[in-house]
Chain A
Amino acid sequence: MRKRFLNIVVDIMRELTLKTGYPVPMNRGDIYSWAQDLDIETKGPIALYTGALYQIMPYIESLVAILEKVENNRALLEIMNIGKHLASSFLTKSLLRASHKRVKISRNILKAIALLLREADVNFSYLYKDDLYSGVLLYDLGLSESFLRQARKVYRTFKDRGIKKVITVDPHTTYVLKNVYPKFIDNFDIEVQSYLEVLSSRIKKKESKTKLEVVIHDPCFYARYQNMVEEPRNVLKASGIKVIEPKRSRKFTACCGGPIEALYPELSRKIAMDRVKELSSISNVIVTMCPICFSNLSKVKTKEVEIIDLALLVARVRGLMR
């Protein structure tokens, strides 16, 4: 049973990525709708590349809600297996709806990132419909061949558009572009920098009137894989936000449980609860900087606790967004 569940779920994600470009059924327009009224250039050597992870997560949440029910139900599981062949059809799309509220949060986070970069006088273009998914999930699941196909597609798009440098927005996409693409693609010559690295050195200091105290949750893929712990703290501090460290912090941070949410929904939930308990014992405002952490911790939080993405919080404090 477990084996079958695992094989089917992994297979669905692979097939969808290869067919539609994304690991869950979704509209292409949802990827770049956040940029609608920002008037970002379409051409330029430095491009903002979201890798679509922020946009995908609301759909993954809906998928996990279904998987939680299917995990122990053989008949439903087999139906899903058949359903994957209809991935791009109307049926699957209408079954797997992301909550409107959740989609809006992701949009606002990306908007906040763009506005923060703009405020720091960073020149950048945006890829719009060429803002493809990086394939990071396929890589993590050991689907190297499928991952390679996706990675080549992404690289070709960068090249076709004359891009020399990309600014990434989440830890997983940043890691896979910086550390994995060069291993898989010969002569990979795109410079990669996370928006936090860019902002860390360029953001202007601003005193805030509100004395905001937040607890920080480091994502594994920034803190451990890329040794990036000071950058997010610099950005928060430059905006007058007081950062409190939890017991497990910086490179000793504790995982949110998110990476296994599709394959082990129950286990993933327990890990998230444990982490939220630890963080909320320090402050009621938890700051994340990864769409997977945001998603998984939000799923188990209590009403009194607020979980907010770093970019959105900073943009609000600096008066760039409401």
Chain B
Amino acid sequence: MNNNLKSWLKKETSKCMFCGFCEALCPTVRFGSHRGYGPRGRINIVLYLSEEGKYTHEALNSLYSCLLCAACTLKCPANIDIPEVIRVARSLYARNNLKEKEEVVIEKEVS
């Protein structure tokens, strides 16, 4: 189920080299309680989720506290589409937990 989205997420998040350049630009990481409130943390949480990791409270906080402001993308040397990763990860969660059924949109989302 949802394999297309998951494999896309895994491919995209695996590009992260942990440099953390993104954190300097992220508005939420400065005020969050841990690094999961920054892009590097978010990307690696999504990587963990795409490998059948659990949606814990803090994993969800990390996903849903993202502003999708895309400031992080300005400095990502791996060119990861960070806001899109977050949005697709949310849609994966919504499909399994928030009564959203998967529909034809799956292919279109990651193209």
Q: Which residues of A contact B (CB under 8 A)?
A: 1-3, 6-7, 10-11, 14, 139-146, 148, 183-184, 220, 224-225, 251-255, 257-260, 263-264, 267, 270-271, 274-275
> Quick one: given A183-B108, A259-B68, A263-B64, are A271 and B74 in contact (CB under 8 Å)?
no
Cβ of B78 within 8 Å of any chain A Cβ, yes or no, is no
Cβ of B61 within 8 Å of any chain A Cβ, yes or no, is yes
CA of A14 to CA of B94 in the docked complex: distance in angstroms?
11
CA of A109 to CA of B94 in the docked complex: distance in angstroms?
35
Tell me how far the C-beta of B6 lies from the nearest C-beta in chain A, rounded to whole angstroms: 14
CA of A146 to CA of B109 in the docked complex: distance in angstroms?
14
From A7, A225, A251, A271, give the contact of B31 (CB < 8 A). A271
Report the number of A-B residue pairs with Cβ-Cβ less than 8 Å: 105
Instruction: List chain A residues, Cβ under 8 A from B94.
Output: 10, 141-144
Cβ of B77 within 8 Å of any chain A Cβ, yes or no, is no
> Quick one: given A142-B91, A254-B71, are A184 and B65 in contact (CB under 8 Å)?
no
Instruction: List chain A residues, Cβ under 8 A from B93.
Output: 142
For A251, give the chain B residue with the smallest CB separation.
B74
Tell me how far the C-beta of A312 lies from the nearest C-beta in chain B, rounded to whole angstroms: 24
CA of A254 to CA of B31 in the docked complex: distance in angstroms?
14
For A141, give the chain B residue with the smallest CB separation.
B90
From B61, B70, B90, give the contact of A142 (CB < 8 A). B90
Cβ of B92 within 8 Å of any chain A Cβ, yes or no, is yes
From B71, B100, B109, give the contact of A255 (CB < 8 A). B71
- State whether B69 touches A184 (Cβ < 8 A): no
From A11, A220, A258, A260, give the contact of B64 (CB < 8 A). A260
**Quick one: CB contact mask for B66-102 with A, threshold 8 Å, 1 for yes?**
1111110110000000000001111111110111111
> Quick one: given A2-B57, A267-B31, are A143 and B91 in contact (CB under 8 Å)?
yes
CA of A20 to CA of B30 in the docked complex: distance in angstroms?
37
- State whether A220 touches B98 (Cβ < 8 A): no
Cβ of B20 within 8 Å of any chain A Cβ, yes or no, is no
> Quick one: given A2-B60, A184-B105, are A140 and B97 in contact (CB under 8 Å)?
no
Majority secondary structure, A binding face: helix
- State whether A3 touches B60 (Cβ < 8 A): yes
- State whether B91 touches A144 (Cβ < 8 A): yes
From A139, A141, A252, A254, give the contact of B27 (CB < 8 A). A254
- State whether A144 touches B98 (Cβ < 8 A): no
CA of A303 to CA of B27 in the docked complex: distance in angstroms?
24
- State whether B60 touches A142 (Cβ < 8 A): no
CA of A263 to CA of B74 in the docked complex: distance in angstroms?
25
- State whether B100 touches A146 (Cβ < 8 A): yes
> Quick one: given A140-B87, A183-B108, A267-B32, are A145 and B101 in contact (CB under 8 Å)?
yes
CA of A257 to CA of B67 in the docked complex: distance in angstroms?
7
CA of A304 to CA of B57 in the docked complex: distance in angstroms?
40
Instruction: List chain A residues, Cβ under 8 A from B74.
Output: 224, 251-252
Q: Which of A6, A7, A14, A270 has the most CB of B within 10 A?
A: A6
Instruction: List chain B residues, Cβ under 8 A from A251.
Output: 74
Give residues of chain B (44-74) contacting chain A, Cβ–Cβ below 8 Å: 57, 60-61, 64-71, 73-74
CA of A184 to CA of B100 in the docked complex: distance in angstroms?
16
Instruction: List chain A residues, Cβ under 8 A from B30.
Output: 274
- State whether A140 touches B68 (Cβ < 8 A): yes
- State whether A145 touches B100 (Cβ < 8 A): yes
- State whether B64 touches A6 (Cβ < 8 A): yes
CA of A2 to CA of B69 in the docked complex: distance in angstroms?
23
From B28, B92, B103, give the contact of A145 (CB < 8 A). B103
For B65, give the chain A residue with the smallest CB separation.
A264
- State whether A143 touches B70 (Cβ < 8 A): no
Q: List 22 A-B contacts (CB under 8 A).
A: A2-B60, A6-B64, A14-B98, A141-B94, A142-B87, A142-B93, A142-B94, A144-B100, A145-B103, A146-B100, A148-B105, A184-B105, A184-B108, A224-B70, A252-B25, A252-B71, A254-B71, A255-B27, A255-B69, A255-B71, A257-B67, A260-B66
Instruction: List chain A residues, Cβ under 8 A from B60.
Output: 2-3, 6
